[in-house]
Structure 1
Amino acid sequence: MTNPQQHPFPAQSRRSSRSAAEFAGTFLLVFGLIGAALLTSPDDNGRAPQPGTGLLGVALALGLAVTAGGFAFGPVSGGHFNPAVTLGTAIARRLPWRLVPLYVLSQALGGLAGAAAVFGLVSGAPGDTVGKAVAAGFASNGFDGQSPGLYGLLPVAAVETVATAILVLVVLATTHPTKGTPVAPLVIGLTLTVMLFVALPIDNASLNPARSLATAAFGGPHWLAQLWVFIVFPLLGAAIAALLYPRLFAPHDDAPAPAAPVSRRTSPGSRSQKSVAPSPDE
């Protein structure tokens, strides 16, 4: 989610800086999303009625969190905050594969920390507010009886695959080195908001395995048992998008680059020399 005209890829960031940026961005995403879902969307705060924001507030919270995180941390790590986005960018050759485990681990830990922070806040509410939140799944994703609208596995798998594919297509398009836009984080945040309007009533909207892991860890074993769905199908959607994007929207620009010519200097009594560019991802 960097400025494509100035910093196409966060090539010069250290691994530790990338890890910190992905941790912080995912923390912000989960903290904002789950905090809004548990604290501001209901019409009751546990003691008295309140004007809850409903699904609109939850969708906007995620979109705004991703937008803010993208502008703040995108120049450091690319602003993925989502293992599905990381997989998509790796398949599209926008991220070295050796960095994928670092990104995914940082995202998982950031999401768990964000959910833990919300858990701590809810624990300070009067009565058994935290117990009720955990009993309801702590805003986890689910299907069948654990779906908000009691949707089965098939529609849940479909919405996770399609919505994540759309998200990754938008990420690849807006962060393209030559065709992208400096306001990529805003466009991506708006896309997520729209996707949540569709997916929230179906399965509480994952599109992000790190987000699903974070809430299922606090929701308990019933939610953890369904977590695989919200890992497999977002990753599937991301892979589909990454394979389709260069063929549909950038067939020439995203084609494998030809090997750089090797410059050799030869002189009497001297060895041939190769010009080797430094690795850009360390």
Structure 2
Amino acid sequence: METSKFSKFSAEFLGTLVLVLMGCGSAVIAGADGTTGVGLLGISFAFGLSVVAMAYAIGHISGCHINPAISIGMVVAGRMKAGEAAYYIVAQILGGIAGAALLYLIVSNQANFEMEPWALGSNGWGADYLAEYNATAAFIAEAVFTFIFLLVIFGATSTKNINGGFAGLAIGLSLVLIHIVGIKITGVSVNPARSIGPALLAGGEALEQVWMFVAAPIAGAILSAVAWKTILEKN
């Protein structure tokens, strides 16, 4: 029986909600300071494990994209129709906003809470953001990391891959790896929905810079899809 559009929409909404709530929540609640919190490594695993968990929870329903860059990449690679990708993307963005809103509802009830710049785990770059990398470094990092992430996804989910049952684990661990390297640069997006949700609520610099985390991941995803289709898996 074919899965309904509503089921796929709901799966993508809930999966993206969980990714933002748990991933960004690890940074906001559990803490980036390794001496008193989970540290950057813990945050990296929180994002990766969120993907692993959702892959096995909703993968059989929607494929667990939970990322507009992935859905766009699938269209370019010929694995998905544009019309289907469109409602996936709507669900993902709404899920990212809902995840950020839930995170805000939790942390705003902490004593002495204050919405600081780039709050709620927002992505960013420049002065006063983490290691203060500039916009050029941020764009290159986001595009390249998304390119690599999509390559893993294409390979792990290929019908030619005899280890396809471990696709969710491979994809999640690749996201962990990307975060380990990239958190200091941009906080790591590689996912427009993950960036849009927190930025809308945080406002300020986060909202002004969110275009980067839409444009760069999409560019990286398109390049990855073209490379996969025309070079790596060309018959």
Contact 2:77–2:226 (CA under 8 A) maintained in structure 1: yes
Cross-structure match for 2:226: 243
**Alignment match of 2:51 (pick from 66, 72, 75):** 66
Secondary structure of the corresponding residue to residue 177 of structure 1:
coil
Shift of 1:74: 0.8
Cross-structure match for 2:122: 140
Structure-2 change in CA distance of 1:248 and 1:214 (3 Å): same
Cross-structure match for 1:160: 142
Shift of 1:85: 0.5
Most deviating of 212-221 and 162-171: 212-221
Relative to its length, the structure with more helix (as a share) is 2
Q: Work out which of the two has the higher radius of gyration on C-alpha atoms and give 1 or 2.
A: 1
Secondary structure of the corresponding residue to residue 75 of structure 1:
helix
Contact 1:135–1:219 (CA under 8 A) maintained in structure 2: yes
Amino acid at match of 1:183: F
Contact 2:40–2:180 (CA under 8 A) maintained in structure 1: yes
Cross-structure match for 1:13: 3
Cross-structure match for 2:155: 173
Cross-structure match for 2:197: 214
Shift of 1:146: 5.0
Identity %: 33
**Alignment match of 2:175 (pick from 181, 192, 211):** 192
Cross-structure match for 1:81: 66
Contact 1:59–1:192 (CA under 8 A) maintained in structure 2: yes
**Alignment match of 1:112 (pick from 77, 97, 113):** 97
Structure 2 segments unaligned to the other structure (5+ residues): none
Amino acid at match of 2:132: L
Structure-2 change in CA distance of 1:146 and 1:104 (3 Å): farther
Secondary structure of the corresponding residue to residue 145 of structure 1:
coil
For 2:29 and 2:189, the matched residues in 1 are separated by 19
Contact 1:162–1:237 (CA under 8 A) maintained in structure 2: yes
For 1:60 and 1:66, the matched residues in 2 are separated by 10
For 1:136 and 1:75, the matched residues in 2 are separated by 35
Secondary structure of the corresponding residue to residue 165 of structure 2:
coil
For 1:179 and 1:250, the matched residues in 2 are separated by 11
Q: How many residues align?
A: 234
Contact 2:32–2:40 (CA under 8 A) maintained in structure 1: no
For 1:43 and 1:65, the matched residues in 2 are separated by 21
Structure-2 change in CA distance of 1:43 and 1:200 (3 Å): closer
For 1:243 and 1:236, the matched residues in 2 are separated by 11
For 1:182 and 1:12, the matched residues in 2 are separated by 21
Amino acid at match of 1:143: W
Structure-2 change in CA distance of 1:101 and 1:134 (3 Å): farther
For 2:219 and 2:137, the matched residues in 1 are separated by 15
For 1:42 and 1:178, the matched residues in 2 are separated by 40
TM-score normalised per structure 2: 0.95
For 1:186 and 1:245, the matched residues in 2 are separated by 20
Cross-structure match for 1:267: none
Shift of 1:179: 2.1
Contact 1:22–1:110 (CA under 8 A) maintained in structure 2: yes
Amino acid at match of 2:19: L
Most deviating of 60-69 and 93-102: 93-102
Structure-2 change in CA distance of 1:251 and 1:42 (3 Å): closer
Most deviating of 146-155 and 232-241: 146-155
**Alignment match of 2:22 (pick from 25, 29, 32):** 32
Structure 1 segments unaligned to the other structure (5+ residues): 1-10, 45-49, 253-282
For 2:53 and 2:13, the matched residues in 1 are separated by 14
TM-score normalised per structure 1: 0.80
Shift of 1:42: 4.2
Contact 1:134–1:220 (CA under 8 A) maintained in structure 2: no
